[in-house]
Amino acid sequence: MNRTNNAEMEFTVNRVPASDDRYLPIMAEENVRSALKFHRSFPQYEVTPLHQLKKMAAYLGLKGLYVKDESYRFGLNAFKVLGGSYAMASYIATKTGKSVDELPYDVLSSAEFRKQMGQTTFYTATDGNHGRGVAWAANQLGQKAVVRMPRGSSITRKNNIAKEGAEVTIEDFNYDDCVRLAASQAKEDPNGVIVQDTAWKGYTDIPSWIMQGYGTLALEADRQLLADGVERPTHVIVQAGVGSLAASVVGYFANKYKGCEPIMCVCEAGAAACLYRSAVKGTGQTVKVKGKLDTIMAGLACGEPNVIGWDILRNHVRGFAACPDWMSAKGTRMYGVPLAGDPTVISGESGSVTMGFLASVMMYPRYKEIKEALGLDENSQVLLISTEGNTDPMRFREVVWDGLYGVRHRGEEVIK
């Protein structure tokens, strides 16, 4: 396959009126530290690498470029387990009248505690990574998991979830309808609870805990940057599906560097760019994207925003980008075939879109206005997050080996 895709990126500077920012304290540093403490209690815990791409930074005209590589997270090849596991522990803490700080891994996984706690079934919808994380955490803690996946989901990802002992099916729905299915099934189950990072009316606690769990990677990255002599990143560029990860990262840095926040930007899959469209609408109300949501960025194929996350993003993000599939594929190839001297990063399609976005903005003259709007220049220290590794080997080979979504640039000169 040598498919090309010349669709254009869409970008908007954020002009949405600010809200009262009531949800920003969710991502206060003390809350994130609590999540990190919980994650550290797992025997599988290790800080994931923060790669410095010195040669790429120089090539793109940046002072520094850093990539948080989540392909190493708990051996699960993606960051999602951070949110699901912490939300599950927080739910159990609430149910048992304890603080989550009292429930480290060795307590939650003990036979004595499971006998006291009883059996809970955690329901969720996923394209793969979140469901695998929930299934893995449930398995580790001696609980059950039921996972619903949208049409077009990877069989490899489905099998990885099943290996963790979960009940898993691929449904003939898009992601958002799978969320509704999982929620309705959890409601019908007397021992069921829905673990989803999409917030809606009456369902905010668990999405908030998931966001705090994701904050572990932001806190780690912040500390790694400081250890490398970077007092704070000037720019943070993060991908979004429903917006929970984006709001987690943005919320962490907005709290930590209040008054001197990094310039932050959100990238979405163009086919499911609900946050971008909400920003374009400009009223503060969210916009839902419906339909098949066809994109190679399966982890970002979400058409309905997390309303809590959106509220944080509208207050702290400089710009929103709706990115075509070729931009993700470009990022995967750039990470995987680095400039001499830079480390190789194995990044799946949902993990690499921010690299494709940054490189395109810095390299192609037609994006000059976006570059200027974001203040990207030779003094910029940029943080990216590669949220997943090679989670769909067949699609990864199509991108890297076969040139899936290669792009022709109309004879355009590349800025070097």
Q: What is the DSSP string of 95-157?
A: HHT--GGG--HHHHTSHHHHHHH---EEEEE-SSHHHHHHHHHHHHTT-EEEEEE-TT--HHH
Q: Residue 190 above 90 pLDDT?
A: yes
What pLDDT is stored for residue 118 in this prediction?
87
Do both 231 and 376 map to the same domain?
yes
Amino acid identity of residue 210, one-letter, is I
What pLDDT is stored for residue 413 in this prediction?
67
What pLDDT is stored for residue 274 in this prediction?
98
Give the tens place of pLDDT for each residue, 12-59: 999 999 999 999 999 999 999 999 999 999 999 999 999 999 999 999
Do both 299 and 395 map to the same domain?
yes
Do both 46 and 132 map to the same domain?
no
SS3 61: coil
pLDDT band at residue 1 using 50, 70 and 90 as cut-offs: very low
23's CB contacts (< 8 A; 6+ apart) are 208, 251, 308, 311, 312
Please give the residue range of the domain that contains residue 47: 10-79+206-400
Q: Which of 68, 69, 127, 371 is catalytic?
A: 127
Do both 266 and 395 map to the same domain?
yes
Give the tens place of pLDDT for each residue, 72-87: 999 999 999 999 999 9
State the burial class of residue 394 (Cβ atoms within 10 Å of its Cβ: 0-12, 13-18, 19+). Answer: exposed
Q: Lowest mean pLDDT of 180-184, 196-200, 211-215, name the range.
A: 196-200
Do both 167 and 211 map to the same domain?
no
pTM for the whole structure: 0.95
Q: Residue 381 above 90 pLDDT?
A: yes
Mean pLDDT of the chain: 95
Within-domain flag for 315: yes
Q: Locate 413 and state its tokens.
A: 């000169």
Do both 341 and 218 map to the same domain?
yes
Question: What CATH number corresponds to the domain at position 22?
Answer: 3.40.50.1100
Q: Locate 399 and state its tokens.
A: 């991108």
Within-domain flag for 5: no
What pLDDT is stored for residue 225 in this prediction?
98
Per the structure, how many domains does the chain have?
A: 2
Is 80 assigned a catalytic role?
Answer: yes
Do both 112 and 179 map to the same domain?
yes
Q: Which of 68, 80, 158, 330 is catalytic?
A: 80
What pLDDT is stored for residue 416 in this prediction?
59
Do both 225 and 360 map to the same domain?
yes
Q: Lowest mean pLDDT of 29-33, 98-102, 112-116, 254-258, name the range.
A: 112-116
pLDDT band at residue 2 using 50, 70 and 90 as cut-offs: very low
Q: What share of the chain in percent tops pLDDT 70?
A: 96
Within-domain flag for 406: no
Give the tens place of pLDDT for each residue, 82-110: 999 999 999 999 999 999 999 999 999 99
Q: Which helix (H) or strand (E) holds 183?
A: helix 175-188
Helices (H), ranges, 17-80? 29-40, 54-60
Q: Locate 135 and state its tokens.
A: 């299934």
Amino acid identity of residue 158, one-letter, is K
